[in-house]
Amino acid sequence: MEAEPKLVEPVRTVVDGVVREVRVPALAPVPTHGSLGDIPFDNAAQAPDEAVLARKDADGTWHDVTAAEFAAEVLAVARGLIAEGLREGDRLAIMARTTYEWTLLDFAGWAAGLVTVPIYPTSSALQARWIIQDSGAVACAVEDTAQARIISAERANLPWLAHLWEFDTGAIGRLVKAGERIPDALVHARRGNRTPDSVATLIYTSGTTGRPKGCVITHANFFAEVDNSIELLHPVFRSVSKDPASTLLFLPLSHVFGRMVAVGCLRARVKLGHAPSIRTEDLLADLAGFRPTFLLAIPYVLERVYNTARATAEKMGRASSFDRAARIARRFGESIEGKAPGPMLRAARALYDPLVYRRIRTALGGRVRYILSGGSPLGRRLAAFYTGAGIEVFEGYGLTETTGASTVTPPLRPRLGTVGWPLPGTAVRIAPDGEVLLGGRHVFAGYWNSGQALPSGSWLATGDIGELDADGYLTITGRKKDLIITSGGKNVAPAPLEDWLRAHPLVGQCMVVGDNRPYIAALITLEPDGLWHWRQMRKKQNVPMRELVRDEELLADLQRAVDDANQLVSRAESIRRFAVLPGDFTEARGHLTPSLKLRRGAIARDYADRIDELYRGPREG
């Protein structure tokens, strides 16, 4: 029997015929005591034999971990942290991929009264050193030897870092051993000292414009976020069929999006698995073995799944059939916003289900019914496709400063192209200049070491530009600081054009330019898998990259993609010229943040000559 979602109509404030503010009342009560460190022990007391996690053996077999087993592990590791001398309030840094040990140490740290500090596993020595220095972490756990070497090389600059532990060399086992003489009562006493207002974690921003800042996230912030998400997204977090709710997490736990869902899964006793490798073959194998009922994904991943399926169909000589199926799926997905699809559309969808849609669902494990998408706008086209393919998409919007989502698609009330209503307990306001302002109990306490706390009840300025429609749905149109003003005075938000182009199989990254220039242009990088497939299909495997970026056939394909994107905007906002770069924007080269956001200043500096070339000679279009 399907679980009924709990929907509360938004309260809208209209000024001069325009919706300026939307509030949705909270669905979950406000906790008055306790912390996230209580969750494993509460689960063990309430449902000791229920599987709350699963972990994979070396042979690829997944084994369930019950609530009682996880609580026992958390207790044992928490005793070890205390035995190693970590005091209440100390900061514990974790630098690892998405693994079982990450979540175990996170909850053990909370049980021991610590503040955990995530570090992206791909961070450079300078980035890791800054976070450890700024947070004052006294201990750091890493996954492997390579990461241990990065931290070890910086130890001279980190005199208060007393401990460096490595998962791959048995750190968890040694912590358990060290804590054997510590009484359980000491852990429980430390847990008892934590309150909802205690600091849970410091999550550092991606640092697109400068040094990352540590966001102070309390236990209360997490409770407000996950408890209201669980109540709203009832079909996702509750079993609504014979398959118990479960998810395989492959996004980094160092990012607030993945961390929030991990905490939410433990809170709701949804079985959680971890996939450390996002290489296509590794991830597909983990999905097939784990078989989740819902997934957490960023648009980049969903774009790649779609493009891989399309490339496979083209290789088999069925590209036109796939394209027809995609059009039908989009039409079917779009129909959910209005009247029910007609009999002909339903019949067409049923025809292509075993040929195309089921194959995509099978690639995701075969049981996925829902996808939670965030990190950047998914876009109407992809959202409609996945909906039509039999996977309901809940798109959300939020920041590190808001402990994850502040808005989300309400169940049974989708509006494609928007990021939904405010999460229950949240308010969204549009400032006079179009900036999105957010309020609610999930909004962070302030920045670490800033000397200033965020006043209770104040509005958080997001830096994003957006608008609310008549029904209270929010659409994000771009970043305030990224807004381009051409020499003709036209304001252009680059995000819609960039998001559309990135969905093309050939495009890896795209940066729209044109500030104080006569027209809009773009830098485009090529997506390796899409380019490999394009080379194979056109017999150009041996053409050097320096020649390929000027290949007329390639440029023509990219021009068609640009023409499609230009349909989203007015003539004055359209891309008139573009340059194809031989290399990709990467984090290692300083062009991307760890969460794959563009560092626009660095890219503009490094490619200043290529940008200048786009404004020389006759313009195209």
| CATH at 402 | 2.30.38.10
Is 541 found in the same domain as 430? no
Q: How many CB atoms lie within 10 A of CB 455?
A: 8
Whether residue 618 is contained in a domain is answered as no
Range of the domain at 569: 484-613
370 and 436, same structural domain?
A: yes
Among 437, 462, 479, give the residue marking a domain's end: 479
367 with 470, same domain: the answer is yes
Q: Is the same domain home to 442 and 540? A: no
Cβ proximity of 584 and 526 under 8 Å: yes
Could you say which of 452, 479, 506 is where a domain stops? 479
Do 349 and 270 lie in a common domain?
A: no
In a domain, 102, yes or no: yes
- Point out the domain boundary residue: 479, 494, 514: 479
* pTM for this model (two decimals): 0.85
CATH of the domain at 490: 3.30.300.30
Give me the average pLDDT of each 10-residue run along the chain (621 residues): 65 89 95 97 98 93 97 98 98 97 98 97 90 97 96 94 97 98 98 97 77 93 96 77 86 93 95 91 91 89 84 87 93 81 91 92 91 81 91 91 94 86 96 94 92 76 92 88 80 84 89 90 91 89 87 93 88 90 85 81 90 76 46
506 and 369 within one domain: no
Structure tokens at 41: 């022990």
The runs of H, that is alpha helices, within 356-436 are 358-363, 380-388
| pLDDT, position 197 | 96
Q: Are residues 112 and 161 in the same domain?
A: yes
In this structure, are 343 and 424 located in the same domain? Answer: yes
Question: Is 608 inside any structural domain?
Answer: yes
The reply to whether 208 falls in a domain is no
Query: Among positive and negative, which fits the CA dihedral 585, 211, 264, 94?
Result: positive
| Tally of domains in the chain | 3
Mark whether 421 and 520 lie in a shared domain.
Answer: no
308 occurs within a structural domain: yes
In a domain, 521, yes or no: yes
68 and 167 in a single domain? The answer is yes
Residue 177 lies in a domain: yes
User: Does 550 reside within a domain?
Assistant: yes
463 and 360 within one domain: yes
What's residue 352's pLDDT?
93
Backbone phi, psi, residue 297, to 5° = -145, 155
Nearest to 484 by CA among 517, 449, 436, 442: 517
Q: How far is CA 311 from CA 81, 305, 563, in A?
A: 49, 10, 21
380 and 502 in a single domain? The answer is no
Which pLDDT belongs to residue 170?
A: 96
